[in-house]
Amino acid sequence: MNMRWSLVGSIALLGVVLVAGEANAQTTVTYGRITAVRQVDIANQSAQATGTLIGGALGVASGSGQSRSNRALRGVGGAAVGNRLAGAAGSSTGFEYTVLIGGTNTIRMVTEQAGLRVGDCVSVERGSLNNIRLVDDARCNAPANTPVPASATADANACAAAKEQLLNAATDADFDRAERRMRLLCGD
């Protein structure tokens, strides 16, 4: 019995250590130049699935008292309409930035952030949540082995924390405050 509780305690402690380690994970910062910008549609897949289900259910319900085939057709039609409506409401315009890092690696980052252009020197911040921001050209012109300033990593971690706060907002007031904080800490 004691051995079982010891095992449960060890597993719980390991879980706490892993969660704490994940929460304290550092964001990595690299610098590169934007080589391409492309406008893209960012679709919310869960909104489309929900729209499909609700539309289908409403279609079937509207066929109440009708034959099975009529209800099935109404369900399919309702699902299609629900998917389209939710897709239109659940999508937004974003930008796909292609960034050349260190002259050898290329990454693509999709974001709703506009205003960056081909040739801009940017900071690419990757961690639990990603970010891209405009920086001084000197960062991209520095030798490849130049260390990233501690302040850049601190800024990237503050941005990631602000994004987490936005995702965890419970009220409208919390959301508004977190959104302002994110815009201030994650911009250029």
In a domain, 108, yes or no: no
**What pLDDT is recorded for position 169?**
87
In a domain, 17, yes or no: no
Phi, psi angles (nearest 5°) of residue 135: -135, 175
Angle between helices 172-186 and 150-167 (to 10 degrees): 160
- Looking at the structure, do residues 173 and 149 belong to the same domain, yes or no? yes
In a domain, 152, yes or no: yes
- Looking at the structure, do residues 127 and 177 belong to the same domain, yes or no? yes
Residues spanned by the domain of 58 = 45-89
Task: Tell me the torsion sign for CA atoms 84, 89, 90, 94.
Answer: positive
Q: In terms of Cα–Cα distance, which of 57, 49, 41 is closest to 84?
A: 49
Q: What is the pTM of this model?
A: 0.59
Q: What are 140-184's pLDDT values in tens digits?
A: 988 878 888 898 888 899 989 988 888 888 888 988 898 899 888
- Model confidence at 121, pLDDT cuts 50, 70, 90, reads very high
Q: Is 100 helix (H, G, I), strand (E, B) or coil?
A: strand
Q: What are 83-100's pLDDT values in tens digits?
A: 555 555 556 788 999 999
What is the count of structural domains for the chain?
2
- Looking at the structure, do residues 66 and 32 belong to the same domain, yes or no? no
Q: Looking up tokens 């082995």, which residue turns up?
A: 145
User: Above 80 in pLDDT, residue 123?
Assistant: yes
Q: What is the mean pLDDT of residues 114-138?
A: 90
**What pLDDT is recorded for position 23?**
45
What span, in angstroms and rounded, lies between the C-alpha atoms of 30 and 33? 10
Q: What are 23-80's pLDDT values in tens digits?
A: 445 789 999 999 999 988 877 555 545 555 665 565 556 656 666 665 565 556 555 5
Q: In terms of Cα–Cα distance, which of 33, 27, 28 is closest to 122?
A: 33
In a domain, 96, yes or no: no
In a domain, 79, yes or no: yes
In a domain, 109, yes or no: no
In a domain, 103, yes or no: no
- Looking at the structure, do residues 32 and 53 belong to the same domain, yes or no? no
User: Above 60 in pLDDT, residue 3?
Assistant: no
- Looking at the structure, do residues 128 and 160 belong to the same domain, yes or no? yes
- Looking at the structure, do residues 125 and 180 belong to the same domain, yes or no? yes
Q: What is the mean pLDDT of residues 6-11?
A: 39
In a domain, 74, yes or no: yes
